[in-house]
Amino acid sequence: MIVLGIESSCDETAAAVYTPDGIRSNVIASQTIHEKFGGIVPELASRAHHTRITPTVKQALEEAGTDRDDVDLIAVTSGPGLMGSLLVGLCFAKGLSLACRVPLVGVNHIDAHIYSNFIDHEPRYPFVCLIVSGGHTRLVHVPRPFDHRVLGKTRDDAAGEAFDKIGKLLGLAYPAGPEIDRRSQNGDPDFHSFPRAMIREGFEFSFSGLKTSLLYYVEEKGEDFVQNHLDDICASVSQAITEVLSVKLRRAAEQTGVETVMLAGGVSANSMLRIKAKSAADVMGVELLIPRMEYCTDNAAMIAITGLMKMEEEAIGEEELGLGVRPFARMP
Ligand code: KG4
Ligand code: ZN
């Protein structure tokens, strides 16, 4: 089975080829145009996808040593995401499906982040997964494939969004998550204690108070102080965000009794979160899975593998297969 995965939900145009030997190519064309706006401009994202989708898919097929006629299944992100961006990938996939007479399956982007863990690891159930990306923060309990029981999610900003918005207040370019992570490694995480909302109970998250607290902190201390202690402030912010995330991951594992916990989504690339999640898993004696770095942030390898799993699990109805796949902006 050769699967072509296509992803265009946000600001990465991506294509990947999966074969029975594993992922054979994973091409990601990132859009840098949004940096100067401090966030994604949807119209610019759609236009950039439009110019990049054909060369990206071609490159993925070439790198995998395959031809479009060899493809047995096309898996494409159908949502959630920016509608204009989703439509570019979806319409391209439908055109290819029609031209090459290859079945098409729509993949939920958040499901794909979860199953990116099974690119390098054998599937195992039940598990608890902490999905932390730019648009979503949620804890799910998964007793069997595609049975996602949401334990809790964020009430306001997603964890990645918190990193990005805080970075903007600190004068860092968008997306600021990776830069805050880099700076944190040279800073003191206990330099300042930022709030850890709702850490004591439940599985819900809230990060908007942290952002406001940082805004007041910057106003009180002044620009020079902030720039002189940027690494320490980044480390303190990372500490506050990752402590809440890891405490809730541990609570979810304890309450559900699973033996496997996972991280998924762009923020799972965060070094402090990876360390904290590992020590939480070790204390509980459970296994921790984290995707390889290139599968943490948006990519099409995760779309390909999830599309294949969906087919194999027969978790899809006829209406979802083929040209009837419809885009959706928000999580159903
Ligand atoms: O999953 P993803 O690529 O896209 C969405 O589906 O949202 O996640 C992107 C998010 C951004 O907010 C980015 O700042 C954050 O992931 N991110 C990180 C790191 N790498 C990416 N946040 C903290 N530390 C990182 N190392
Ligand atoms: Zn994502």
Q: Does residue 246 line the site of ligand 1, with CB under 6 A?
A: no
Q: Are both 185 and 36 inside the same structural domain? A: no
Q: Are both 128 and 237 inside the same structural domain? A: yes
**Which ligand ends up closest to the CA of 12?**
1
Q: Considering the domain boundaries, does residue 332 fall inside one?
A: no
Sheet holding 260-264, edge to edge: 149-153, 137-142, 127-132, 260-264, 287-289
Full-model pTM: 0.94
Q: Does residue 184 line the site of ligand 1, with CB under 6 A?
A: no
Q: What is the mean pLDDT of the chain?
A: 95
Q: Report which protein residue has its CA nearest ligand 1's atom 21.
A: 266
**Residue 19 buriedness (CB in 10 A; 0-12 / 13-18 / 19+):** middle
Tell me which residue range forms the domain holding 174.
124-290
**Residue 1 buriedness (CB in 10 A; 0-12 / 13-18 / 19+):** exposed
Q: Are both 72 and 37 inside the same structural domain? A: yes
Q: Does residue 10 line the site of ligand 1, with CB under 6 A?
A: yes
Q: Which residue has the higher pLDDT, 10 or 275?
A: 275
Q: Does residue 266 line the site of ligand 1, with CB under 6 A?
A: yes
Q: Are both 101 and 149 inside the same structural domain? A: no
pLDDT band at 224 (very low <50, low <70, confident <90, very high): very high
- In degrees and rounded to multiples of 5, residue 202 shows phi and psi of 70, -170
Q: Considering the domain boundaries, does residue 42 fall inside one?
A: yes
Q: Based on the structure, what is the number of domains in the chain?
A: 2
Q: What is the CATH number of the domain that holds 46?
A: 3.30.420.40
Q: Are both 244 and 158 inside the same structural domain? A: yes
Mean pLDDT throughout 4-28? 95
What pLDDT is stored for residue 36 in this prediction? Answer: 79
Q: Are both 300 and 265 inside the same structural domain? A: no
**pLDDT tens digits along 46-57:** 999 999 999 999
Q: Cis bond leading into 20, ω under 30°?
A: no
pLDDT band at 20 (very low <50, low <70, confident <90, very high): confident
pLDDT band at 298 (very low <50, low <70, confident <90, very high): very high
